[in-house]
Amino acid sequence: MFKWFWKWLNSQKFDPIIDGRMAHEYTDPEAREEITRRYKEHYSKPITPWVNPDKFDPLNPPEGWAFDPYYFIWYRK
């Protein structure tokens, strides 16, 4: 009667990350890889004048960018 339910339940992939457990407490290699992947995906940002203004020269801006000295901000052209 409930074969479809068990079949569906077995086909589901559940999130290995749970509330209340810190990243360093996981021992399962797959869960640790998933944590690392999500972390890098979330915190990896491209290096641009907007995100890293200290890495660019306002008098020699990269292609497609400009620096407004009055408002002191970078913007895309």
pLDDT band for 1, please (50, 70, 90 cuts).
low
Please tell me the pTM assigned to this model: 0.56
What mean pLDDT is reported for the chain? 89
Domain ranges of the chain: 1-44, 46-77
**DSSP one-letter string for the chain:** --HHHHHHHHH----S--TT--GGG---HHHHHHHHHHHHHHH-----TTT-GGGSBTTBPPTTEEEETTTTEEEE-
Residue 51 per-residue DSSP state? T
Q: What is the pLDDT of residue 57?
A: 96
- Choose between 67 and 3: higher pLDDT: 67
- Predicted confidence (pLDDT) per residue in 6-21, tens digit: 888 778 777 888 888 9
